[in-house]
Structure 1
Amino acid sequence: MPTPAELAAMRRALELAERGPTGVNPQVGAVILSPDGDILAEGWHRGAGTPHAEVDALSQLAEGEARGTTAVVTLEPCNHTGRTGPCALALLEAGVSRVIYALQDPNLKAAGGAERLREGGVSVESGVLAEDATALLDGWLEVQRRGRPHVTVKWAQSLDGRAAADDGTSRWITGEEARADVHVRRSAADAIVVGTGTVLADDPALTARTSAGELRERQPQPVVIGSADVPVDAAIRRHPVEPLIYPTRDLHRVLTDLKDRGIQSVFVEGGPTLASAFLRDGLVDEVLVYIAPVLLGGSRLALGDLGVPTMADARRLRTASVTPLGDDLLILAHPVSEGDA
């Protein structure tokens, strides 16, 4: 069982971890305690290629000062050599006698540090404040588990399921409150994705803005998928973040590349064709549907072919919430996997 000093050190390590950037690497914090439970050093991971949290903390101690100490870390010390060496080995060589960590590393290439430490005679305890660490690393952990970013597909529709009138006009199906909610969610996402068809038809800026029309401090990475050329004067090219353009229909390839770039969450806003493709390929974790109390009729459906030839093949969703936004409704739902059905 961890001592009160060790629990306090883990809370401090979690605070330190938040200072690090999100992305390809996890946010990790570390605290070195003396045998009496006093904090001797603190560290956190500052990004790819920089010292890991444990090494950052150890670097602040004089030679031999870490002998007999306790290292408190938010994630299992790594056991592989990448841009930096194994943290488990660094702790062993420093003479640390006890290591406490919150979460086991889900990355098989990096895992195994705890076992290496135990083999080296170090006392190891895991699972300390694991729920707090999980909350901190939720996005990164999901990427490790799925092998791709979290994908949210959003669309706005009329009450009868249309995304636009028959002449193609769609501004505005929903009201101001619903549109403001979209911009908040854009800002929270790492990337916003549309197809070239949407770029050519609507020329969207894909920025996250306030109700006053000003740019929010955090802007998503704009992403365009499709074979058509993006015009040189397209609004998306004036986005504060340079857009990524993928001339392909291979969504798996796109998501893999985005994962490798450190993108953890993707917000798909690209119209019926792209939304349907993500759903058809089983690449959606969350669906956001903004429904306006308006009837349009016609053929401009909010979704296209989902590969559902019969009712038995219907894509089932589980509703997580229904939120009124002015006269509109926001339905948040999650696809039901076969194991959940």
Structure 2
Amino acid sequence: MAETTTSETDAMRRAVALAASPGVPLHPNPRVGCVLLAPDGTVVGEGYHHGAGTPHAEVEALAVAGERARGATAVVTLEPCNHTGRTGPCAQALIAAGVRRVVVAQRDPNPLAQGGADTLRAAGVEVETGLLADEAERVNPAWTFAHRHGRPFVTWKFATTLDGRSAAADGTSRWVSSPAARRDTHRLRGLADTMLVGTNTVAVDDPQLTVRGDDDLPVGVQPLRVVMGERDLPAERRVFDDAAPTLHLRTRDPDTALRTLYAEHDRHHVFLEGGPTLAASFLRAGLVDEVVTYVAPMLLGAGRSAVGDLGIATIADALRLELAGTTVVGDGPDANVRLVLRPALRPTERGTN
């Protein structure tokens, strides 16, 4: 098989940049970029997927190239799809256009769409995989995670005081977080395709669970609102209004909820904003992949803990998190510290004793 050329590496970097074009929805489809190179290494076409129902990146690039696609090399961030959905299979489109070689960054983890590389090879097209794969995967992290694990990626968000309280002793919790932190929360909500809380949060707090923007924070498609729990809820709760779709999952098991959301509703990124009991159930099950917390510069001394019982009796068994990022959100008395953390690997998971 031919060596990957410098022009192909440069083209893949361009394809990754195309895939990450501003304004492209993060879900439900992956963001993909494609660059077509003539035999002499010049670019004859490029394209990217603009969202569900639109032409795929390869098809858009082929349309630009026209007859110049014959004998060309297609450099694409994700393995060309091998199935017919709203659009036809890209593997067959590349074959029909007479493309000679296809260079792929990320193999497709979606079992419904994968297999394009094998189809191309069977048709006599030379295929190379793995070029800048890590960079390509970072364009679609939640989508990739969901298809690899059979469940959505879970971000747990909460606000807390310096002493770990999410509400005062009398139950009041508005507002622990600052206006700047709440605005930032809406930005993060907009990155997910699912908002999830428990029935108790809906019964007590009556949240609407929508993304609310402003002139500088445009709102795209509202996430699916999911209420998890077995109890019935009044129909007049705000989560059941017409601002966004809502699903009531009548289960208390986090794993069942997540696998249902993936398999039956094509969900890839859950933004968990439930109370301490629901958060603890996801943490105990090992089903929190990212933690985002806004720490307010205040002390309560008593009140509701930010998380419920984790079944931990000794410091040696503490659930440890690794800090992935720290940002001051807002300024002056409205400043909060946003921490982004991920569950730490145990020593055995790191391959050490």
Structure-2-length-normalised TM-score: 0.79
Q: Distance in 2 between matches of 1:234 and 1:95?
A: 57
Structure 1 window deviating more from structure 2 (19-28 vs 250-259): it is: 19-28
Tell me by how many angstroms 1:272 deviates: 0.8
Q: Distance in 2 between matches of 1:258 and 1:81?
A: 22
Tell me by how many angstroms 1:283 deviates: 0.6
2:86 paired with 1:77: no
Equivalent in the alignment of 1:289: 293
Q: Distance in 1 between matches of 2:98 and 2:194?
A: 43
2:140 paired with 1:137: yes
Equivalent in the alignment of 1:217: 219
Equivalent in the alignment of 2:151: 148
Q: Distance in 1 between matches of 2:166 and 2:71?
A: 65
Seen in structure 2, the aligned counterparts of structure 1 residues 103 and 215 have a Cα distance that, compared at 3 Å, is closer
Q: Which amino acid aligns with 2:272?
A: V
Equivalent in the alignment of 2:255: 252
Q: How is 1:169-208 mapped onto 2 (pairs within 5 angstroms)?
A: 169-208=172-211
Secondary structure of the 1:124 match is strand
Secondary structure of the 1:278 match is helix
Q: Distance in 2 between matches of 1:155 and 1:256?
A: 23
Is the 2:83–2:112 Cα contact (8 Å) retained in structure 1?
no
Q: Distance in 1 between matches of 2:51 and 2:298?
A: 48
Tell me by how many angstroms 1:197 deviates: 0.6
Equivalent in the alignment of 2:282: 278
2:327 paired with 1:319: no
Equivalent in the alignment of 1:105: 108
Seen in structure 2, the aligned counterparts of structure 1 residues 179 and 87 have a Cα distance that, compared at 3 Å, is closer
Tell me by how many angstroms 1:284 deviates: 0.4
Secondary structure of the 1:188 match is coil
Equivalent in the alignment of 2:339: 331
Q: Paired residue for 1:26, among 24, 27, 30?
A: 30
RMSD: 3.4
Tell me by how many angstroms 1:33 deviates: 4.1
Q: Distance in 2 between matches of 1:129 and 1:272?
A: 40
Structure 1 window deviating more from structure 2 (259-268 vs 5-14): it is: 5-14
Is the 1:321–1:331 Cα contact (8 Å) retained in structure 2?
yes
Is the 1:23–1:262 Cα contact (8 Å) retained in structure 2?
no
Q: Distance in 1 between matches of 2:114 and 2:298?
A: 53
